Structure 1
Amino acid sequence: MIPMLRRRSTLPSLVDEFFGDDIIRRFFDDTESVTVPSVNIKEGKDDYTIEVAAPGFDKKDFKVEMNNNVLEISSEKEVKDESKDEKVMRREFRYSSFKRSFVLPDTADTDKIKASYKDGILNIVIPKKEEAKEKPVRQIAIS
């Protein structure tokens, strides 16, 4: 079955053609203020990696904390006011705050977590405990 997209009504689409996409949503929809970055979670042989897509931030904007086996990633960034001489006709990008939490498995070595930020991606590497790492295949002699 092919999914179908439906518009709520034809009036907003007519208004959109004349005034732009956000004229109606500006009054009724508050999704513009909610920003949650996307993440990738990978499991390697020796560690877990969490990648957070957060372009436009600096590494000082992030706070990464461990709280009872829960990894919390948060950021608060102030939105700068534009010059009083400029009239903003449309604002589609702005940064605010977010918080993501991840329950770590018991196999994670939470004392050795490392984080880095480069090219808009926050990388958090969580090593596995020694007993959780994959062991090489071993031949067992039959007696």
Structure 2
Amino acid sequence: MTLVKFNPEKKNSALLPGFNDIFESVIGDTFFSDRRISSVPAVNISESAEAYQIELAAPGLKKEDFRVSIEKDMLNISAQKSEESSSEGKIYNRREYSYSAFTRSFTLPESADADKIQASYTQGVLKLSLPKKEEAKAVSRQIEIR
């Protein structure tokens, strides 16, 4: 018995058999895949009773590369890094510059206290703590059962 994989993502496979396979093999080639890597770092967002936490994975950067700003109710996190190595007197067959930049924007919830946001960068992770306003913190109390 032969097992055939079913991929519902492939459209028009009945109309143009093999076209998607050829297209995927060209796009999946290492020449293109190195350039298709997403330049936007992954983000984890969590919430506790006291604050919101944002963790942004950005290894290889320095804290000086980051810009964190607030405009109205938007939290903007951006970074820019460029590296140029200059070696005089050498003849290059191939020389590549390293340049990367990204911007992530998040809408701040009304319960976040924008004046008390703190940020730190350690071991490739930018961590932001957005404390909640006092009136927004969850008040818990024990209810007596009669």
Q: TM-score, normalised by structure 2?
A: 0.71
Compute the RMSD of aligned alpha carbons.
3.4
| Bigger Rg, which one | 2
Give the whole-Å Cα distance in 2 for the aligned partners of 1:86 and 1:45.
Answer: 57
Count of equivalent residues: 129
> Is residue 98 of structure 1 aligned with residue 102 of structure 2?
yes
Alignment correspondent of 1:136: 140
Structure 2, unmatched stretches of 5+, are 11-19
> Is residue 79 of structure 1 aligned with residue 83 of structure 2?
yes
> Is residue 57 of structure 1 aligned with residue 71 of structure 2?
no
Note the 1:105-124 alignment, pairs <5 A: 105-124=109-128
Quickly say closer, same or farther: Cα 1:140–1:131, change in 2 above 3 A. farther
Structure 1, unmatched stretches of 5+, are none
> Is residue 31 of structure 1 aligned with residue 36 of structure 2?
yes
Match of 2:109, SS state, is coil
Quickly say closer, same or farther: Cα 1:36–1:10, change in 2 above 3 A. closer
Matched letter for residue 52 of structure 1: L
Measure how far apart 1:7 and its partner are. 3.4
Q: TM-score, normalised by structure 1?
A: 0.72
Matched letter for residue 58 of structure 2: A
Measure how far apart 1:102 and its partner are. 0.3
